[in-house]
Amino acid sequence: MARITKKEELVLTADAAVALIKNADGKVRFQFRVSALLPIEGEPDKCFEGVTFLSVSKMEAIALVRGMLSPTLEKRGARITLRTDPAPTPRDLAFISIY
């Protein structure tokens, strides 16, 4: 199992992202970045971007990452961004955020 030891941003193929998630040790928390366009009342051409993170299990993270890119998009160079954030103390959880 791989331990998250540093904060970094990784740009990976779907297979590489799945491998990283599978190899993460048991003290890693997975979260997906979710964004939504929020229309502004009375201003039809404008909106705010709302962003939040959803916590998911390791198996859910693998399933979601596997479905993010079609083979065509991946062939054209599309990649998945993962951000790692180590635990501040050995008793805390590290994070892998999926963008």
pTM equals 0.78
Domain residue spans of the chain: 8-98
Residue 98: which pLDDT band, with cuts at 50, 70 and 90? confident
Is the predicted pLDDT of residue 9 greater than 80, yes or no? yes
Q: Is the pLDDT of residue 90 over 80?
A: no
Quick one: DSSP state of residue 87? -
Give the model's confidence band at 1: pLDDT under 50 very low, under 70 low, under 90 confident, else very high: low
pLDDT tens digits, one per residue of 24-79 = 888 888 988 888 889 999 998 999 999 988 889 999 999 999 999 999 999 999 99
CB-based burial, 64-90: b 16+ in 10 Å, e otherwise: bbeebbeeeeeeeeebbebebbbbeee
Q: Is pLDDT of 2 > 70?
A: no
The residue count for the chain: 99
pLDDT for res 95: 80
